[in-house]
Structure 1
Amino acid sequence: MPRILLDTDGPVATVRLDHPPMNAFDSLQREALSACARRLADDDAVRAVVLYGGERLFAAGADIKALAAMRPEEVRGWNRALQRTFDEIARLPMPVVAAVTGYALGGGMELALAADYRVAADDAILGQPEVQLGIMPGSGGTQRLVRLIGPSRAKNLLMTGRRVGAEEALRLGLVDEVVRPDAVLDTALGYARRLAEGPPAALEAIKEAVDHGGDVGLSAGLALERSLFTGVFGTQDAAAGIRSFLEHGPGKARFTGSDGDA
């Protein structure tokens, strides 16, 4: 049975989790997601990605029954592999949008955190409930969450394991947009299509500057920004964008994705 469905519509790819009933992450689900991420990373035609779990829910986390049967040394390898898979999603060069319906808990929320933008249904429930099992998040929850909403708010969610509704998640900055459940996928796809019309090299550079610049000091971050800016400036898309601005005004450039010398 497929665990991941990949659908490409022009420059936008939709990655659909397909492991009913809860889209729990077992080894097969993780391996399928990892293979999908590698395929997308090598596909120059894809300019934006949407992560989707279906109309009912996004993902409810790890397969607890499988986890309970593991020895500590097995858990270490399983956790390392799942963390690496979510890193592959986070490192995709193009923008990634999570379309969150229903539950996004544990590993499901950690996958949503690996996206660049999150659209949630107004009845969605998000959380990192691992502490209620006597454990902790291990696939990016403690690291990406604190970078997204700050240490105090992150500790509150992580240490209590409480679940939050969509409106509170929006106030916390955990999600970026809240819409009706039947509008989640269309909203995410619309945003992805809009991003896909942008210059791919510039979008990739912005993502790298934001994601990696925050992990270093200000001076190193500024140096990274300078290097990326110089590289993007030499692309054909940059030349086309500047020429369009001078001739027609802002917001009218058409980008081809060409990244060679201008």
Structure 2
Amino acid sequence: MVTVSAVGSTEQQWRTPAPVFGGSLLGDANALMTCTAAAEKLLAELPAKPDRSPDEQQLAAELFRDQRRVRGAFLRLHAERVYEVLTGELREQRSLSELVFAAADAFPGLTPTEAQMAAERECAQADKEGREIDQGIFFREILRSPVAGPHLLQAMLRPSQRARSLLGEFGRTGLVELGTVHLERIDGTAHLTLCNGRFLNAEDNQLVEDVETAVDLALLDDRVRVGVLRGGRMTHPRYQGRRVFCAGINLVDLHQGRISYVDFLLRRELGYIHKLIRGVRVDDGWPRPLVEKPWVAAVDTFAIGGGMQLLFAADHVVAAADSYLSLPAAQEGIVPGMANLRLTSLAGARLSRQVILSGRKLWAHEPEARLVCDEVVDPKLMDATVRAAAERLATPAVVANRHMINLAEEPEDRFRAYAAEFAFEQALRLYSDDVIDKVDRFSAATSGDRRTGSGS
């Protein structure tokens, strides 16, 4: 183990010239492997992160920082070719987790291994090494590539295996329970109800998995013409019996290290939220491979963080007059998904800055909220209004026209360019000191009530 007295000499040992890339993929990959292996050997000699002295913490930070510079340099040259190798020359379509772990196997040192990430999952967020940042470096460069990026985005529009396995049951019964989501087909409308009631429908890894499955089923079922997104009735005592749309990310789970960068933060943006807009990919589909359907979002009580983000993907938003919308990015410290892109398109840059940078809460009855909400109604009229909105959208011409609107509003290259930077910035934010401090304080403040998982 490296002792405090040995830190200085160890740092000098590490400060060898970084590899200079520019040769063949194989030669540069070998140089990358040699460089990162040397750094990992030194890291393995340090105590666990919570037990490190200030000097040891500084050394570890510099080891990771130097490795990340090397990985970024390698990927700026070879990202496209790396992706082609990992996908069998673009013949295979991999999920995000499959892709990033395949990269660790095929190009040692490029991304964290499954064993390294399993070790990270055992730690609270503050005690992790931050290896998800290395995954963020990888996905930024893959998404930037004009060849690899579009191929990955198309792969992410494919239905999940779980949805395929449940499609027959949903087709027969029109009903499926997915843990945190209730999906029911009624007269051609798929009602997707968030049921993570103990946590005010706060988002966690399981909710992302369940919502994507439900979205896939609604899009794949031929009898569904339109989908409705709505929050279920709460069991939390503060909102007992009331519907709540969504309370955003589960900050307690984030504090405890249970929010996954790949399977939550990146997957939700490139997966089910992207599918709400673009549709689900069916390779043998005709006249086009994407099956699209219109979506209505119904906001009862509040839509916070990721809940508000969902509204930007809906074709029609109905809000109760006593509800509110917010994107507490300034309070939580992370990037609010695609909100910086989509809210700016909907409401303009000035209001977006007020909501995202300054934490302005939009009450549904305010005039500015109409830039996000299509109808604001008495809470007692929500059911009837949502039903009428779904009926209006359940026509074939709506599908064709929403397709053209989405194409004009958010071209794929624009979305891909944003997603590439988001992939990197969000990974950095997860491990920033201010985020760690905020979620630690929030978790301590709510430790007496395990039913509260968000900043609401």
C-alpha distance in structure 1 between counterparts of 2:304 and 2:355, whole Å: 12
| DSSP 3-state at the match of 1:160 | coil
> Match for residue 63 of structure 1?
250
Question: Structure 1 length as normaliser, TM-score?
Answer: 0.75
Alignment of 1:82-231 (within 5 A): 82-83=268-269, 84-92=271-279, 93-138=292-337, 140-168=338-366, 171-196=369-394, 198=395, 200=396, 202-215=397-410
8 Å contact kept, 1:170–1:177: no
Query: Is 2:194 the counterpart of 1:17?
Result: yes
Query: Is 2:202 the counterpart of 1:3?
Result: no
| DSSP 3-state at the match of 2:334 | coil
Q: Per the alignment, do residues 31 and 169 of structure 1 end up closer, same or farther by CA in structure 2, a change over 3 Å counting?
A: farther
CA drift of 1:194 comes to: 2.4
Query: Is 2:229 the counterpart of 1:51?
Result: yes
CA drift of 1:170 comes to: 5.3
C-alpha distance in structure 2 between counterparts of 1:77 and 1:49, whole Å: 24
Q: Per the alignment, do residues 96 and 183 of structure 1 end up closer, same or farther by CA in structure 2, a change over 3 Å counting?
A: same
CA drift of 1:165 comes to: 0.6
8 Å contact kept, 2:218–2:224: yes
CA drift of 1:71 comes to: 8.8
Q: How large is the RMSD of aligned CA atoms in angstroms? A: 2.1
Q: Which amino acid aligns with 2:211?
A: L
Runs of 5+ in structure 2 lacking a partner?
1-177, 233-241, 280-291, 412-456
C-alpha distance in structure 2 between counterparts of 1:65 and 1:176, whole Å: 33
C-alpha distance in structure 2 between counterparts of 1:69 and 1:88, whole Å: 29
Larger deviation: 114-123 or 147-156? 147-156
| DSSP 3-state at the match of 1:13 | strand
Question: Structure 2 length as normaliser, TM-score?
Answer: 0.44
The structure richer in helix per residue is 2
> Match for residue 241 of structure 1?
none
Runs of 5+ in structure 1 lacking a partner?
217-262
Q: In the TM superposition, what whole-angstrom CA distance separates every residue of 1:86-129 from its partner, at most 9, and x where no partner exists?
A: 21223341210101000100011111221111000011010101
8 Å contact kept, 1:11–1:193: no
8 Å contact kept, 2:231–2:300: yes
Q: Per the alignment, do residues 28 and 157 of structure 1 end up closer, same or farther by CA in structure 2, a change over 3 Å counting?
A: same
8 Å contact kept, 2:311–2:372: no
8 Å contact kept, 1:106–1:137: yes
8 Å contact kept, 2:204–2:264: no
CA drift of 1:77 comes to: 4.6
8 Å contact kept, 2:329–2:335: yes
CA drift of 1:186 comes to: 2.2
C-alpha distance in structure 2 between counterparts of 1:91 and 1:185, whole Å: 27
CA drift of 1:161 comes to: 1.4
Q: After TM superposition, which residue ranges in structure 1, 4 or more long, deviate above 3 angstroms?
A: 169-172
Q: In the TM superposition, what whole-angstrom CA distance separates every residue of 1:157-180 from its partner, at most 9, and x where no partner exists?
A: 111112111112655411111111
| DSSP 3-state at the match of 1:50 | strand
Identity of aligned residues (%): 32
8 Å contact kept, 1:105–1:129: yes
CA drift of 1:130 comes to: 1.6
Q: In the TM superposition, what whole-angstrom CA distance separates every residue of 1:129-152 from its partner, at most 9, and x where no partner exists?
A: 1211222212x2112211211222
Q: In the TM superposition, what whole-angstrom CA distance separates every residue of 1:17-75 from its partner, at most 9, and x where no partner exists?
A: 00113001111111111011111111121111111103421001111111223399x43
| DSSP 3-state at the match of 2:407 | helix
CA drift of 1:182 comes to: 2.1
CA drift of 1:7 comes to: 1.3
Q: Which amino acid aligns with 2:408?
A: G
The structure richer in strand per residue is 1
CA drift of 1:11 comes to: 1.3
Q: Per the alignment, do residues 215 and 90 of structure 1 end up closer, same or farther by CA in structure 2, a change over 3 Å counting?
A: closer
| DSSP 3-state at the match of 1:175 | coil
